[in-house]
């Protein structure tokens, strides 16, 4: 294989082609900006496939206005099914996934394609969120900066997929099928790593997230994701991962250690204020780097206001994780310790966070 400016080559004659897959569910408000940005890419895109994941709004009609191929799914099943349906229809050598509320930069797709040629054992490339976003409200800013901060602290090679923006090469891998409605991109990275391929997190590839958050949607999201992550923690031996890597996927050990502090602090107050003060100091110490980041980005007032918001957010994350552990342990007991088939069972008891997943899964193979 040879490399030339602007592309990757299977051989000396045939340039690799690109398919962009956009999973979408009730995305009429954002998908136009998403597709417009893809159309303005500096890299040639052979096809754009929008997978309408059972939307009941005008998502598909908006996408048709951009000349995209539309794959309509009969009902909403989440991003995993939508991605697999897009893969099934794709013809490109490189498949790029862009969430329907993401705006790529003109060079995003070109950089994803180039990054895939860094090393022969890189099976997928992941981007990150820009600090820039169009929603100036406190909670939208908070969530956007939080994700930028968390991903920036990750190493160059990671064990997860960030589903909003990533790409892979068909001549190296076929994406495995996972059976979780949410958290599926995290597990996808684990499965890719197990087959001997690395995942490159290119922090120079930054995209804009259009999603708007209020206090209720922020807390709902931050309850639901840990609910699924608790299952992954059991399934993929989270304690061993934390001891070895000092993180669980993209969550750092300091963040994980912060989760029970709100509850311990409240419990300590029933005995004496001193343990509660000590726990509060521990909470600040564990998260000081994050608060300093917020101060640099938005000033002292914003950082100060974020301290209690983060405290409440940590409490909600802990509650979500506790619920996920409870359901996982109950299902394991019913199955006599067998985790097989539990991913779908977990969904039955899960809250719905929305989002856009029918396609036939294919095994992960190496060539």
Would you state the pLDDT for residue 253?
A: 86
Which pLDDT band, with edges at 50, 70 and 90, does 228 fall under? confident
Question: Does residue 194 sit in the same domain as residue 120?
Answer: yes
Q: Is the pLDDT of residue 27 over 60?
A: yes
Q: Is the pLDDT of residue 320 over 60?
A: yes
Q: Is the model more confident about 63 or about 243? A: 63
What is the domain count for the chain? 2
| 38 and 133 share one domain | yes
pLDDT, tens digit, 9 for 90 and up, residues 92-106: 999 999 999 999 999
Instruction: Tell me the pLDDT band of 190, cut-offs 50, 70 and 90.
Output: confident
pLDDT at 73 over 70: yes
Same structural domain for residues 32 and 89?
A: yes
The whole-model pTM stands at 0.84
Residue 8: what pLDDT?
A: 44
User: Percentage of residues in the chain with pLDDT exceeding 70?
Assistant: 85
Of 127, 126, 121, 128, the residue nearest 173 (C-alpha): 121
Q: Higher-confidence residue: 96 or 364?
A: 96
Token pair, residue 354, equals 């929305």
Radius of gyration of the chain (CA): 21
* Residue 176 counted as domain residue: yes
Whether 180 and 53 share a structural domain: yes
pLDDT band per the 50, 70, 90 thresholds, residue 309: very high
Looking at 170-298, which runs of residues are DSSP E strands?
A: 198-209, 247-248, 251-252
pLDDT of residue 354: 42
- pLDDT (0 to 100) of residue 359: 30
| 173 plus 247 within the same structural domain | no
Location of structure tokens 């994700």: 147
Helix (H) or strand (E) holding 206: strand 198-209
- pLDDT over 70 at 161, yes or no: yes
Q: Does the structure show a pLDDT above 80 at 349?
A: no
The confidence score (pLDDT) of residue 203 equals: 96
Beta bridge partners of 96: 20, 167
Inside any domain, residue 8: no
DSSP-assigned states of every residue in 7-52:
EEBSSSS-BPPEEEEEEESS-TTTHHHHHHHHHT-SS--SEEEEEE
226 within domain boundaries? no
| Cα(216)–Cα(30) distance, integer angstroms | 20
> Would 357 be classed as within a structural domain?
no
Give yes or no: residues 92 and 241 share one domain: no
* Residue 154 exposure: Cα atoms within 13 Å on the Cβ side: 25
**Range 290-319 average pLDDT:** 97
Give domain status of residue 361, yes or no: no
Same domain, 203 and 237: no
Q: Among 211, 244, 279, identify where a domain stops.
A: 211
Token duo for residue 117: 């040629």
Position 365 in a domain: no
Tell me, yes or no, whether 55 and 132 share the same domain: yes
The pLDDT of residue 344 is above 90 = no
The whole domain housing 93 covers 15-211
Name the average pLDDT for the chain: 85
pLDDT tier, 338 (very low <50, low <70, confident <90, very high otherwise): low
Q: What is the mean pLDDT of residues 54-66?
A: 95
Return the sign of the alpha-carbon dihedral for residues 326, 332, 336, 337. Answer: negative
Q: For tokens 């619920």, name the residue.
A: 323
Q: What is the mean pLDDT of residues 147-176?
A: 90
- Residue with tokens 């009609």, as numbered in its chain: 61
Residue 10 lies in a domain: no
Same domain, 123 and 25: yes
On whether residue 195 sits in a domain, the answer given is: yes
Could you tell me which residues come within 8 angstroms of residue 275 by beta carbon, excluding any fewer than 6 positions away? 268
């Amino acid at each position: 294989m040879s490399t030339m400016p602007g592309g990757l080559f299977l051989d000396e004659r045939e340039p690799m082609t690109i398919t962009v897959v956009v999973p979408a569910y009730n995305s009429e408000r954002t998908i136009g900006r998403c597709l417009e940005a893809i159309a303005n890419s500096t890299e040639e895109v052979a096809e754009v496939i929008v997978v309408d994941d059972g939307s009941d709004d005008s998502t598909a009609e908006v996408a048709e206005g951009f000349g995209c191929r539309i794959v309509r799914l009969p009902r909403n099943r989440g991003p995993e099914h939508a991605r697999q349906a897009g893969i099934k229809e794709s013809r490109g050598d490189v498949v790029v996934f862009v969430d329907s509320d993401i705006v790529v930069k003109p060079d995003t797709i070109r950089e994803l394609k180039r990054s895939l040629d860094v090393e022969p054992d890189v099976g997928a490339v992941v981007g990150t969120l820009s600090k820039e976003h169009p929603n100036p409200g406190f909670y939208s800013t908070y969530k956007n900066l939080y994700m930028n901060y968390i991903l920036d602290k990750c190493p160059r090679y990671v064990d997860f997929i960030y589903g909003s923006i990533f790409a892979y090469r068909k001549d190296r891998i076929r994406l495995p099928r996972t059976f979780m409605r949410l958290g599926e991109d995290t597990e996808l990275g684990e499965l890719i790593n197990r087959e001997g391929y690395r995942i490159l997190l290119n922090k120079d590839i930054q995209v804009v997230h259009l999603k708007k958050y209020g206090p209720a949607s922020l807390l709902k999201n931050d309850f639901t994701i840990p609910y699924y992550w608790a299952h992954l923690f059991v399934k993929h031996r989270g304690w061993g991962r934390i001891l070895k890597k000092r993180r669980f996927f993209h969550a750092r050990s300091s963040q994980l250690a912060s989760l029970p502090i709100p509850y311990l602090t409240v419990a300590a107050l029933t005995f004496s204020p001193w343990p509660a003060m000590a726990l509060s100091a521990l909470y600040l110490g564990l998260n000081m780097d994050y608060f300093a980041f917020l101060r640099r980005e938005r000033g002292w007032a914003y950082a100060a206001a974020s301290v209690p918001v983060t405290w409440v957010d940590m409490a909600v994350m802990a509650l979500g994780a506790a619920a996920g552990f409870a359901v996982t342990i109950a299902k394991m007991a019913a199955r006599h310790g067998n985790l097989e088939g539990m991913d779908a069972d977990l969904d039955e008891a899960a809250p719905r966070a929305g989002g856009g997943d029918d396609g036939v899964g294919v095994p992960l193979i190496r060539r």
